[in-house]
Amino acid sequence: MDVLTSLVNGLNLHAKLIYSGGVCGRWLMDHNSDRSVFFHMLSKGEGWVYTSKWDAPLLLEKGDLILFLPHSDEHFLSYSKEHLPDTMSNTQLTPWSDGEAGFVCGEIELGMPESLIWRALPPEIVIKRSQAGDVLTRLIELINMEASVPRFGSGSVVERLCDSIFILAIRHCIENELVDRGVFSAMQDRRLATVLNLIHEQPWEPWTLAEFCRRAGMSKTVFSEKFAASVGASPIEYLGQWRMQIASHWLREPGMTIERVAERCGYESVPAFSKAFKRTFGKTPGAYRREGPGE
């Protein structure tokens, strides 16, 4: 299993469909979040993306995709290059066929939005149709096709198809050298990737620095320096962060007990796990799971 697959499988991320349809009038979309990835696919017409980071609004056309990570600046999507409405009051939501523009918009909640994993990615990922490549282009076309002519179960079909959007966007960033640090950059080093795979696939094992070095075939000094320089944390620190990442997702899975989550994260006791979890999230595992996503 490659290291990106093991990371994605460990987190079990899923997309939630926020909007699928048309828009008319002086429309405005405001999907800012400090804990979720929001993505927008333009399926019809055109729209403009505003952010203080860019000197001028960015044009989105049919087949284009944009993703905003939690560390992105405040941003808006609007109908015009010249005018950004103050509110969404003039936004008219319509069936896809009646809209001047059409969108498929979704959300992927991240358990630890401030972690090194996500901070290593660009805060905004823009993939124009001409840059998407065959697989992503076909996926976007399939999503837009399903969204534009609603049938029984279309919402569920679109959501499941959208599960792959974030993965393909990450792959786009790696293959187009849009990441030069962090986990996704380290994945391209065969020896570091070996250790990252071990962490992602078997977080419950009592890993030690010596064992990581043995598996990577490197000395402690060279491995530690190389890993920290690439990932931004020591191997043991990253292991701890990864355990908290997966714990934040597993705690919200139906039927998953705190005892089982602690075991899967490599902790010998629930108190030890709870202490580490509270140190990271500022609340106990029980309090975290009682809260709904995004609360």
**One-letter amino acid identity for 248?**
S
239 exposure class (CB count in 10 Å sphere: 0-12, 13-18, 19+): buried
- CATH 1.10.10.60 maps onto the chain at 189-290
Residue 33 has pLDDT above 60, yes or no: yes
Question: How far apart are alpha carbons 186 and 227 in whole angstroms?
Answer: 8
pLDDT band at 294 (very low <50, low <70, confident <90, very high): low
Mean pLDDT score of the chain, rounded to an integer? 92
Q: pLDDT tens digit string along 88-113?
A: 999 999 998 899 999 999 999 998 89
Which sign does the torsion angle of CA 287, 290, 294, 295 carry? negative
Query: What is the model's pTM?
Result: 0.89
Q: Which residues does residue 61 pair with via DSSP β-bridges, in sequence order?
A: 46
Cα distance from N-terminal residue to C-terminal residue, the chain: 34
Query: Is 55 exposed, middle or buried, given 0-12, 13-18 or 19+ CB atoms closer than 10 A?
Result: exposed
- Does the pLDDT value for residue 55 go beyond 60? yes
Asked if 58 and 42 touch (Cβ cutoff 8 Å), the reply is no
pLDDT band with cut points at 50, 70 and 90 for residue 293: low
Distance CA 270, CA 280 (A): 15
Task: Over range 33-60, report the average pLDDT.
Answer: 94
pLDDT band at 1, cuts 50/70/90?
A: confident
pLDDT tens column, 162-206: 999 999 999 999 999 999 889 999 999 999 999 999 999 999 999
Q: Look up the CATH number of domain 3-175.
A: 2.60.120.10
**Given this structure, which CATH class describes domain 189-290?**
mainly alpha
Q: In sequence order, what are the beta bridge partners of 67?
A: 39, 125
Cα–Cα distances in Å, from 77 out to 47, 51, 105, 107, 262? 7, 9, 11, 15, 41
All CATH 2.60.120.10 domain ranges of the chain, comma separated, are: 3-175
